[in-house]
Structure 1
Amino acid sequence: MSSVSMDQPVSMDKSAPEAIPVRRTKPISHWLWGLLALVLVVVAAIGVANNKNLDYGVVGHYMFNSNILHGLLLTLVLAISAEVLATIIGIVVAYGRLSSKPVFRTICWVYTWVFRSVPTIVQILILGNIALFIPSITIRIPLTDVTVLDADTNSLISSFAAALIALALHDGAYNAEIFRSGITAIGRGQYEASNALGLTWWQMQRKVVLPQAVRIVIPPYTSQFITLIKLTSLVSVLAVGDLLTEAQNISNNNQRTIELLIVASVWFLLVTSIASVGQYFIEKRLGRSTRRAV
C-alpha cells in the first residue's frame, strides 16, 4: 500500500461542475396584484377626470390666485418657524429626559406625554382661546411694585402666534423623542474616548455626540417636518390666513368647495414632495460622508 507524502500537493478535480447561480423570480401573483392596482388607479383617474361635477377651469383659475399664494407663503413661514422652535425645544427636552436630575426628567417626561397624547387640533384651539381663562398677562418684579408687562392676552398673543406656539409645542414633543433616541444610540466608547481626550461635557456633545446623532435622526426628523407641513392645515380653525383658510374663504364666495380643496391639495402635494426630495439628498449626503469616514 503506497503512502502519500504530506508535501505533495493534492490535485483538484477540475471536472467537478460549477455552481449554477439561482435566479429568483417573482411569483405570478405579485404581477397580478401590481396590474390590479394599476388598473384601479387608472379607473379612478378617469372617473375623476370625467366627473361633470368638477370644474377644472376653476381649479386652474385659482391655482395661482394672489390670495392662495399669500396663504401658501404664510403656511411655509408658519411651518418653518414652528420647526425651528420645535428643534430647540426637542434638543433641550431630549437632554432633560437624559438628565441625572429626577426633577428635570419628570418635567420633560410629562411634557412629551401631554403634547404627544392630546390631539393637535385641541392644542391649537386651547392656545387660540387662551384669553378665555387668562384674560391678561402681568409680569412684576418680585417683592416690588414694578410692573414689567401688563397686557391683554388677545393683543399679546395673536391667532398666528397661538398657531405657531401650538405647532411648535406639539412638534417639539416628537422631536424630543427623536433626538433622545439618536443621542442614546451613540456607543459608550465615544464618551470614553472624549473623556480620554480631556473634552468638557459641552465640547463632547458639540464635537462628538451631536454630529453623529444628527446622521441617525435625519430620516425621522425630516419625516416629522413633512408631517408638520400638513398639520398647518389645522390652524384654519383660527383663521390665520393660511393656505386652507384662503381656499375656504374663496369657496364660501363662489360655492366651489371641492375645486378649492383640490387647489390646496395640489399645493400641499407639491410642497411635501419638494421636502421629500430634500430629505432624500440630505440622507444621501450624510450617508456618503459616513462611508468616507469608515
Structure 2
Amino acid sequence: MDTSIIINGFPLLIKGAAVTLLITIVSLILGTVLGYFLCLMRMSYNKFLSSISFIYIWIFRGIPLLILLFLFYYAAPFDIKFSAIQAALIALTLNVAAYKAEYIRSGMLAVKKGQIEAAEAIGLTPFQVMVRIRIPQVIRIIIPPYISNATSFLKQTAQVSVITVPDLMMNAKNLYASTYSPVETLGFAAVLYLFMTSLLMLLQAWSEKKLNIAQNNR
C-alpha cells in the first residue's frame, strides 16, 4: 500500500465526503417535510388528495433512483437546465419523500384511536391533537427505522457521481483514474463511508436505548 497516495488524496476525499454529507442531510430534511405532507394527504378523507399521494408514492418508490438522476440532469421538463447538485437534490428529495411518507404513516396509524378520541372529547382541536398527541408518539415510534433508512440512503447517494456531482464516490474515482491504485483510493473511500454510516448506527443505537428507557418509565 502506497500511503503517499492516501496522504495526497486525503483533502480531495474529505471534500467529497463533505458533499456526500451535505446532500444527504439536505435531502433527508426536505424529503421528511414533503413526506409528512404526503402522509397527511394519504390519510385524508378526501379521495382526490389521497389518490394523488398514493400515485406519488407508487411512482417514486418504483422508479430506480439512478433513472431519476438521469431524468432531472439530462432530460428535465420545459427545457430547464439543472446543475448536477441541483438535479441530485431534487431526485434524492423526491425519492426519499416517498419512503418517509410511509414511515410517518405507519407511525400515525400506530397511535391508538382511544387517545385521539379522548383528546377530542376534552375539546382539543385537530391541530392540538396532532401537535400534542400524534407527533410526539410518531417520533418515538419511527426514529429507529428512520435512522436505519437514513444509513442506507447515505450509501445510495454514491449514485449521484454518475451525473458528475463531486461527492466522495466521484472524487475517489477521479483519484483512482489518475493513480490506478484501487486500494488506496476506493478502499479509503470505503473507510470514509463506513465511518459516516457507523456514526448513524451509533445514533440509532443511542436513540433505541433512550426510547427503551422512556418506555420503561411509563
Structure 1 residue 213: Cα displacement? 1.2
> Unpaired runs of 5+ in structure 2?
none
Q: Work out which of the two has the higher radius of gyration on C-alpha atoms and give 1 or 2.
A: 1
1:121 corresponds to 2:46: no
> TM-score, normalised to structure 2's length?
0.95
More helix by share: 2
Q: Aligned equivalents of 1:159 and 1:167: distance in 2?
A: 12
Q: Is the 8 A contact 2:6 2:184 kept in 1?
A: no
Pairs aligned (count): 218
Q: Aligned equivalents of 1:59 and 1:207: distance in 2?
A: 55
One-letter amino acid matched to 1:195: E
Q: Is the 8 A contact 1:62 1:260 kept in 2?
A: no
Higher relative CO (CA 8 A, sep ≥ 6), structure 1 or 2? 2
Say what the alpha-carbon RMSD is for the aligned residues. Answer: 1.4
Structure 1 residue 62: Cα displacement? 5.0
Q: CA separation of 1:260/1:161 partners in 2, compared to 1, >3 Å: closer, same or farther?
A: same
1:267 corresponds to 2:192: yes
One-letter amino acid matched to 2:103: I
Q: Aligned equivalents of 2:51 and 2:83: distance in 1?
A: 31
- Share of identical aligned residues, percent? 33
1:189 corresponds to 2:114: yes
1:97 corresponds to 2:42: yes
Query: 2:123 aligned to 177, 198, 205, which one?
Result: 198
Q: CA separation of 1:62/1:232 partners in 2, compared to 1, >3 Å: closer, same or farther?
A: farther
1:14-71 deviations in Å (ceiling 9; x for gaps): xxxxxxxxxxxxxxxxxxxxxxxxxxxxxxxxxxxxxxxxx353564356x2111111
Q: Aligned equivalents of 2:216 and 2:49: distance in 1?
A: 37
Alignment of 1:195-274 (within 5 A): 195-274=120-199
SS at match of 2:78: coil
Q: Aligned equivalents of 1:228 and 1:247: distance in 2?
A: 19
Q: Aligned equivalents of 1:111 and 1:257: distance in 2?
A: 40
Q: Is the 8 A contact 1:179 1:213 kept in 2?
A: yes
Structure 1 residue 239: Cα displacement? 1.0
> TM-score, normalised to structure 1's length?
0.71
Query: 1:175 aligned to 75, 93, 100, which one?
Result: 100
1:141-170 deviations in Å (ceiling 9; x for gaps): xxxxxxxxxxxx22xx21101101111111
Q: Is the 8 A contact 1:112 1:174 kept in 2?
A: yes
Q: Aligned equivalents of 2:208 and 2:34: distance in 1?
A: 23
1:75-132 deviations in Å (ceiling 9; x for gaps): 101100000001101111111110000001110001110111111111111111134x
Moved over 4 A (4+): none
Q: CA separation of 1:254/1:187 partners in 2, compared to 1, >3 Å: closer, same or farther?
A: same
Q: Is the 8 A contact 1:183 1:213 kept in 2?
A: yes
Q: CA separation of 1:173/1:289 partners in 2, compared to 1, >3 Å: closer, same or farther?
A: same
1:245-291 deviations in Å (ceiling 9; x for gaps): 01111111112234311111100000000110011111211221232
1:134 corresponds to 2:86: no
One-letter amino acid matched to 2:70: L
